[in-house]
Structures are given as C-alpha cells and as structure tokens.
C-alpha cells in the first residue's frame, strides 16, 4: 500500500507538472520561443513516458496476479524504449538551442527559426522510435523456452534478454551499439555545446546576463545529468549476478522511468523567471475573471 500510494503521488505530480508546462507554453506569448517549443516536446514525451509503464505498475502492485499480456509487453517495451531514445536525442537538440542562444544571440532568431525547430524535433522522434523498432523486433525474436517471469517493474530490453534460453551476445552487441548512437553521441554533442557555452558566458561582462545564462543552462544540464546518469547506469546491471544487483537495476529503471519525468517540470519552473511569470499571469487572469463573475 505504501509503494502504491507513493508511486501514485509521483505519477499525479508528473501529469500535473508536465501538463502545466505544455499549457503555459501554448497560452503565454512570451513562451513562444524555440526553448519552450522543445520543452513542450519534452513535457509531452515525459507524460507518455510515465503513462506507458506506471498504470500497469500500479495495477500489478495492488493485484495478486502481476501479469501483462504478451502483446502488452511488446507494446510497452516499444513505446517506453522509443520515448526514452527520443528524449536522449531531444536533450542534445535542446543543448544545441542553448548553445546558439548564448554563443550567437544576435543570430538566434535567424538560425533557430520555426521550421528548423520542427525538423530537429522530428529527427529526435523518428530516430528514437526507429531505434526502438529495431531493438523490439530483435528482442522478441529470441526463443523464451517457457520463461515468462520478467525481473523488473515493466518490460525493457535487458530484462527481456535474461528470459532467453540461447546466447544473446548478438542482441547485446546491437544494444550497446544503440547505446553509443542514442546516448553516447548525444552526450558528446551536449558536452561540446556546454564547453562553448561556458567559454561564452565567462566573456560576458554583465553579471546579471551571466547569471541568467547559467540559470537557463543549469536547468537543462541538471535534467541531462539525472536522465543520462540513471539510464546509462541501468545498462551496467544488464546481466546481474546477485539479488542486490537486480534490485539496483530495478531501482534505476524506476528512477529514470518515473522520478526524472516528475522532477523535470519542477526544475525548469523553480529556476525560470519566464515560467514563474506565466504562472502568475495565468492565475491573475483567472482571479480577475472570478471577480467579474462575482
């Protein structure tokens, strides 16, 4: 019951926080910028990301039969992996956006025009789900030999590979290659962007402008560290030998599957004056409407 209530609260906070970011980005004209366009994509992604696993997880926690159908497991793995892969690429796109904003502020609007933003977002989504399609097909082609007990809170590739009764080295090589493409290369692009951002910020003479740049980039960097840190660490427990290693793998999966999406809107809201201003403006408008009705 404690686990059920805790996860339910986290899930509700995730839904409310990410929905608020999407709604504010639509309603407030000050947030009609490339940064908030990508942030809205991230929030929508996180909504779908948690919804692909948490409802089933909550059902299993309070149910005596903790089962998921075979088709349901395939769908869950495909959607969860697709959204996770998309987030990896999207975070590197957001780092590029911050790089252009800080290092080329005078040309920011020209470079990051709406069409380019849409194209970059499309690349992130297509890349993520293409990777998921390949890995899902390869994973479910493996023979199970009547092994159907998934050692995790939900269906994901490492847990499914452990059910196979044959050598999975080909799948593991493919999975690690995907990790390089989907996780390591974007991390390299993020590091490149932030190295140049730090160099540019150091040269800014105004302390207020420097603080604003660090606050904006700091929120994104914190999200990157949380997501990539837990996601990449999860692959270290792909083939756990002990019960403690299995538990760590499950907790890491729970962290990047639930905790990180919940914290993302809080991080961006608490450290961002534009979002705070949009919230105050929206609440003030609702109060005025309430007084007019009264």
pLDDT number for residue 289: 55
pLDDT number for residue 294: 47
Cβ atoms of 156 and 101 within 8 Å: the answer is: no
Query: Which token pair is 134?
Result: 């390949």
- pLDDT tens for the chain, 294 residues long, are 888 899 899 999 999 989 988 988 888 878 888 988 999 999 999 999 899 988 888 888 887 777 888 888 889 999 999 998 999 999 999 999 999 988 888 899 899 999 999 999 999 999 999 999 998 988 888 887 777 788 777 888 877 887 788 877 788 888 888 888 888 889 899 999 999 998 888 887 777 777 777 777 888 888 888 887 776 665 555 555 556 666 666 677 777 778 888 888 888 776 667 777 777 776 666 555 554 544
The reported pTM is 0.85
Q: Of 249, 213, 261, which is closest to residue 19 (Cα–Cα)?
A: 261
pLDDT number for residue 257: 77
Angle at which helices 207-234 and 243-254 cross, to 10°: 140
């Amino acid at each position: 019951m404690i686990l059920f209530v805790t996860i339910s609260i986290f899930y509700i906070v995730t839904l409310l926080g990410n929905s608020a970011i999407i709604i504010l980005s639509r309603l407030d004209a000050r947030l009609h910028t490339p940064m908030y366009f990508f942030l809205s994509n991230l929030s929508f992604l996180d909504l779908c990301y948690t919804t692909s696993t948490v409802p089933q997880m909550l059902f299993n926690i309070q149910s005596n039969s903790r089962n998921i159908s075979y088709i349901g497991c395939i769908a869950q793995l495909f959607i969860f992996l697709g959204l996770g892969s998309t987030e990896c690429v999207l975070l590197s796109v957001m780092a590029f956006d911050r790089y252009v904003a800080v290092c080329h502020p005078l040309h920011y609007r020209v470079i990051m025009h709406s069409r380019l933003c849409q194209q970059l977002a499309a690349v992130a989504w297509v890349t993520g789900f293409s990777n998921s399609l390949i890995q899902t097909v390869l994973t479910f082609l493996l023979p199970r030999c009547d092994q159907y007990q998934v050692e995790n809170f939900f269906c994901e590739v490492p847990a499914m590979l452990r059910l196979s009764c044959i050598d999975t080295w080909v799948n593991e090589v493919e999975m690690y290659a995907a990790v390089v493409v989907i996780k390591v290369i974007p991390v390299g692009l993020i590091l490149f962007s932030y190295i140049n951002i730090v160099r540019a910020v150091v040269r800014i003479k105004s302390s207020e402008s420097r603080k604003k740049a660090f606050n904006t980039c700091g929120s994104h960097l914190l999200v990157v560290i949380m997501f990539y840190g837990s996601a990449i660490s999860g692959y270290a427990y792909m083939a756990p030998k002990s019960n403690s290693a299995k538990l760590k793998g499950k907790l890491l999966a729970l962290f990047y599957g639930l905790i990180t999406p919940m914290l993302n809107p809080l991080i961006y809201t608490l450290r961002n004056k534009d979002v705070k201003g949009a919230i105050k403006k929206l609440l003030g408008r609702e109060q005025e409407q309430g007084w007019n009705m009264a």
